[in-house]
Amino acid sequence: MISVPTPAFRAVKITTSKWPRSLGAFLAALLLAYSASAQNQNIEFTKDQFNGDKEGLKTALKEIKLGNEWYDTDPPRYEQALPHYLAAQQFNPNNALLNFRIGACYLGSGGLKAKSLPYLQKAQQLNPQVDERLHYLLGRALHLNAKWTEAIAEYKAAQPPAGLKDANARQNDINKKIAECQSGMALQKNAARVFIDNVGPNVNSSAADYGPVITADESVMLFTSRRQGGVGDDKDPETGGYFEDIWQSVRNADGTWQQARNLGTNVNTKGHDAVVALAPDGQRLITYVEDGAGDLHEASLKGAEWKKPQQLGRRINGGQSHEPSAAYTPNGRMLYFVSNGSPKSNRGGHDIWRIDIEGRGDAENLGPVINTPFNEDGIFVHPDGKTIYFSSEGHNSMGGYDIFKSEWKNGQWTKPENLGWPINTPDDDVFFVLSASGRHGYYSSTREEDGLGSRDIYQITFLGPEKPPVLSGEDQLLASRAAPLRETLLAPPVAIASAQVTILKGTVTDADSKQPIEATIDLVDNSLAQTIASFTSNAQSGRYLVSLPSGTNYGIVVRKEGYLFHSENFDLPQGAAYSEVVKDIPLKKLDVGAKVVLNNIFFDFDKATLRKESTAELQRLVQLMTTEYPSLRIEISGHTDNVGKAEYNKDLSQRRAKAVVDYLTGKGVAAARLTSAGYGDTQPVATNNTKEGRQLNRRTEFKVLSK
């Protein structure tokens, strides 16, 4: 009775009609193939090649024969053939045809299809002509290993020989496979963000475990397993594994699953029993039983005990049709199911249908948006009642069945959306259920990296769309902050004339009477020997004030008819600070014995050479002696401070007095009217203890000797 493959294992059928069927034919093929001994060259299973190991050769040939027996049945039993071929391969890994067949066996077996690739590649290396199906099978192997581009190349090379009866069908198949590879390439680029975790050894065994169904809250999982220890604890003679049974595991609070237990004899029989659906509340389940062409049965839970499943009836199960999958709607009234049997289905293969369980009407095909000319299977209705998940070989499958999602929106189904890589793979991906929260899905898969043997049940955690990380930037958006400028607007200096001026002021009086005098004040630029300006002191007060801008060596001459002139010097270099000088000037009558200091006569340092700045004063003396008082007799005397030796000072003062006299005589003043005298430091007018005093003591004087 158990001739129809169980739901999870409807393997891709590989056409074998063109392959050698018997040992004799196989051996003939081996003999016909060229032989060579070098590595990577085809090595035949012949005595020539293995002369030293006749026993080994004999055993290998025997294994080949046993393998061929399984391989050549119809349909071929690849899984049974494989161990024999692998044993022969141990003896001689370099036979093209054996490698080809091992590859073909892997491709045709349940969960290990991807392993076919190295054998087929080796076969091609050893003999590219080993079989006319080599390109196609290589394409399949590459496809199953997600080597999309290479697979497409092999598919394109696998043009069916002309004149074949099924050439069109083969070409269509190749075209579809190429399209699948193209879908795969696109989907893999945009991988779904999921974690895929093996649900662990309490659920999974070393045998095949698959077809998980869950309650909406993920608290209970039922699944199908071909492990030892079930109700039908015996091996299926057809396929070799233990008969299927339904098992159950309960979830702990921490998310781990408890040790699975068999659902018991009410549900499980000695034959194959597979779970198909569980009502969201966990109170009803649907099983698949291989009676007739394969039908759906329903069981309900009474307390802790499952009642015996009952056939769902002819509205659902067709007599000659195959119903491998079903799902309840959340309210339990509608049933979605998969069938290949309705004459109303014009879409080929298995389609998805929907029926009102309690009603009387016919089942309704979900229509062309969902159902394709290829097979659909593995229907699941999300507890939200409007989203379905199903598997299909059509749409944009990347190979075999892929899992799709569609929503009932505005009275129609949305275009099915491929759940994407890595949930879907190039191989069959069927039977997917999703928790009510949408966070977790469950399905079965064969994954070498974390598998516990054969197919295992995995939990998919959906991470949702990518959560974009947030970067932080730092900007200096204001130039004044990024590159501050100092923009202090300082008020400029105020113009202060005083900074450049010396104010000289005082009172001019008669030295004897102390009465104010209206005198003339000449301002002389000594360096130019020119009178810059002349002022007059006030007649009543005798007051005067002159402003002396800095930058000039000033000679100031205060003079009045009948008086001896008074000479002051103000040497004010450029930038000299403001100052006020009060200088009261007592003018002396021009009487015998009167003396005046000639403040504007200058000598070179330590010498008796007259400097040119003395010119103005000397000319005044000349004028006094020649024009104003032509008979005046005077004495010119030199005086020093007390620094240095007295004799030296006396000599210097004498020479300096003489220099003045010489100047005057040179200008035409009779020598007889002039006397010179050097008094050294003997006639101080001030103390020699201060700098200022010593300055006053260094002087040139003139004294009226007679009028």
Partner 1 sequence: MMQKLLFTICLSTAGFAAQAQVDTVRATTLPPAQVAEKYYNSGVAKFNQKSYQAALQDFDQAIKTKADFGKAYYNRAATRYELKQYGPAVQDYNQAIQLEPTSFTAWYGRAQAKQALGENDGAEQDYGKTAELKPDYAPAWYYRGDLRFEKGDYQAALADFTAAIKADPKYAYAYHDRGSAQRQLGNYAAAVQDYSEALRLQPELEVALLNRAAAKRRQNDAKGALADYNAYLGHHTDNPVAYLGRGQARFEAGDYKAAADDFSKALELKPGYALALNNRAAAKLKLEDFKGAEADATAAIQQNAQYAEAYLNRGHIREMLRNPAGACADWRKAADLGIEAGKSYAAASGCE
For residue 227, give the nearest of 246, 212, 213, 211 by alpha carbon: 246
Give the pair of three-digit tokens for residue 412. Answer: 């129609």
Got the DSSP string for 227-256? Answer: -TTSTT-SB-TTTSSBPPEEEEEEB-TTSP
Smallest separation, CB 22 to partner 1 (Å):
53
Which range in 61-69, 226-234, 459-467, 598-606 contacts partner 1 by CB under 8 A?
459-467
411 part of the interface to partner 1, by CB under 8 A = no
Nearer to partner 1, 195 or 648 (CB): 195
Measured between alpha carbons, how far is 109 from 153 in angstroms, rounded to an integer?
24
Smallest separation, CB 152 to partner 1 (Å):
27
Please report which helix (H) or strand (E) contains residue 648, including its range. helix 646-666
Q: Is 625 helix (H, G, I), strand (E, B) or coil?
A: helix
Measured between alpha carbons, how far is 32 from 371 in angstroms, rounded to an integer?
48
Nearer to partner 1, 163 or 469 (CB): 469
Give the pair of three-digit tokens for residue 473. Answer: 């930037």
Nearer to partner 1, 428 or 522 (CB): 522
Q: Do residues 569 and 553 make contact, with C-beta atoms less than 8 angstroms apart?
A: yes
162 part of the interface to partner 1, by CB under 8 A = no
Binding track, positions 423-452, relative to partner 1; x by CB under 8 A? --------------x-x-------------
Q: Is 378 helix (H, G, I), strand (E, B) or coil?
A: strand
Binding track, positions 562-581, relative to partner 1; x by CB under 8 A? ----------------x---
* Span 179-198, contacts to partner 1 by CB under 8 A: 195
Which range in 509-517, 533-541, 605-613, 689-697 contacts partner 1 by CB under 8 A?
533-541
Which range in 306-314, 366-374, 418-426, 469-477 contacts partner 1 by CB under 8 A?
469-477
Smallest separation, CB 544 to partner 1 (Å):
8
Which range in 201-209, 360-368, 484-492, 599-607 contacts partner 1 by CB under 8 A?
484-492
331 part of the interface to partner 1, by CB under 8 A = no
Residue 250, beta-bridge partner list: 220
608 part of the interface to partner 1, by CB under 8 A = no
Query: How many CB atoms are closer than 10 A to CB 57?
Result: 19
Measured between alpha carbons, how far is 565 from 594 in angstroms, rounded to an integer?
11
483 part of the interface to partner 1, by CB under 8 A = yes
Q: Do residues 222 and 490 make contact, with C-beta atoms less than 8 angstroms apart?
A: no
Q: Which of 86, 186, 503, 597 binds partner 1 (CB under 8 A)?
A: 503
Nearer to partner 1, 125 or 188 (CB): 188
Q: Is 652 helix (H, G, I), strand (E, B) or coil?
A: helix
Q: Is 167 helix (H, G, I), strand (E, B) or coil?
A: helix
Measured between alpha carbons, how far is 304 from 546 in angstroms, rounded to an integer?
130
Distances (CA, A) of 129 to 88, 97, 119: 21, 10, 15
Nearer to partner 1, 162 or 485 (CB): 485
* Span 61-80, contacts to partner 1 by CB under 8 A: none
Rg (CA), the chain: 64
Q: Which of 32, 304, 494, 672 binds partner 1 (CB under 8 A)?
A: 494
List all residues 6 or more positions away from 200 whose beta carbon is below 8 Å from its beta carbon: 256, 257
Q: Which of 1, 304, 471, 672 binds partner 1 (CB under 8 A)?
A: 471
56 part of the interface to partner 1, by CB under 8 A = no
Please report which helix (H) or strand (E) contains residue 26, including its range. helix 23-32
For residue 408, give the nearest of 359, 370, 374, 363 by alpha carbon: 370
- Using CB under 8 A, count the residues that bind partner 1: 49
Nearer to partner 1, 505 or 655 (CB): 505
Give the pair of three-digit tokens for residue 316. Answer: 């659902």
497 part of the interface to partner 1, by CB under 8 A = yes
Order of all β-strands in the sheet with 595-597: 595-597, 699-706, 633-639, 674-678
What is the rounded end-to-end Cα distance, in angstroms, of the chain? 173
Query: How many CB atoms are closer than 10 A to CB 346?
Result: 11
Query: Within its chain, how far is the Cα of 227 from the centroid?
Result: 50
538 part of the interface to partner 1, by CB under 8 A = yes
Which range in 141-149, 360-368, 391-399, 466-474 contacts partner 1 by CB under 8 A?
466-474
256 part of the interface to partner 1, by CB under 8 A = no
Smallest separation, CB 267 to partner 1 (Å):
32
Please, is 331 exposed, middle or buried when counting C-beta atoms within 10 Å of its C-beta (0-12, 13-18, 19+)?
Answer: exposed
705 part of the interface to partner 1, by CB under 8 A = no
Measured between alpha carbons, how far is 703 from 23 in angstroms, rounded to an integer?
162
485 part of the interface to partner 1, by CB under 8 A = yes
Nearer to partner 1, 130 or 521 (CB): 521
Give the pair of three-digit tokens for residue 692. Answer: 């200022």
492 part of the interface to partner 1, by CB under 8 A = yes
Q: Which of 254, 358, 487, 561 binds partner 1 (CB under 8 A)?
A: 487
475 part of the interface to partner 1, by CB under 8 A = yes
Smallest separation, CB 551 to partner 1 (Å):
15
**Checking DSSP bridges between strand 585-589 and strand 563-564, what pairing results, if any?**
antiparallel
Nearer to partner 1, 322 or 440 (CB): 440
Q: Which of 474, 561, 604, 606 binds partner 1 (CB under 8 A)?
A: 474
501 part of the interface to partner 1, by CB under 8 A = yes
The DSSP secondary-structure symbol of 586 reads E
472 part of the interface to partner 1, by CB under 8 A = yes
Which range in 35-43, 279-287, 481-489, 631-639 contacts partner 1 by CB under 8 A?
481-489
Give the pair of three-digit tokens for residue 27. Answer: 């051996």
* Span 200-239, contacts to partner 1 by CB under 8 A: none
477 part of the interface to partner 1, by CB under 8 A = yes
469 part of the interface to partner 1, by CB under 8 A = yes
582 part of the interface to partner 1, by CB under 8 A = no
Measured between alpha carbons, how far is 213 from 282 in angstroms, rounded to an integer?
10
545 part of the interface to partner 1, by CB under 8 A = yes
32 part of the interface to partner 1, by CB under 8 A = no
463 part of the interface to partner 1, by CB under 8 A = yes
Q: Where are the alpha helices (DSSP H) in 261-351?
A: none
Smallest separation, CB 532 to partner 1 (Å):
10
Q: Is 568 helix (H, G, I), strand (E, B) or coil?
A: strand
Q: Which of 32, 253, 304, 479 binds partner 1 (CB under 8 A)?
A: 479
Tell me which residues touch partner 1 (CB under 8 A).
Answer: 195, 437, 439, 463-464, 467, 469-483, 485, 487-494, 496-499, 501, 503, 505, 533, 535-539, 541, 543, 545-547, 578
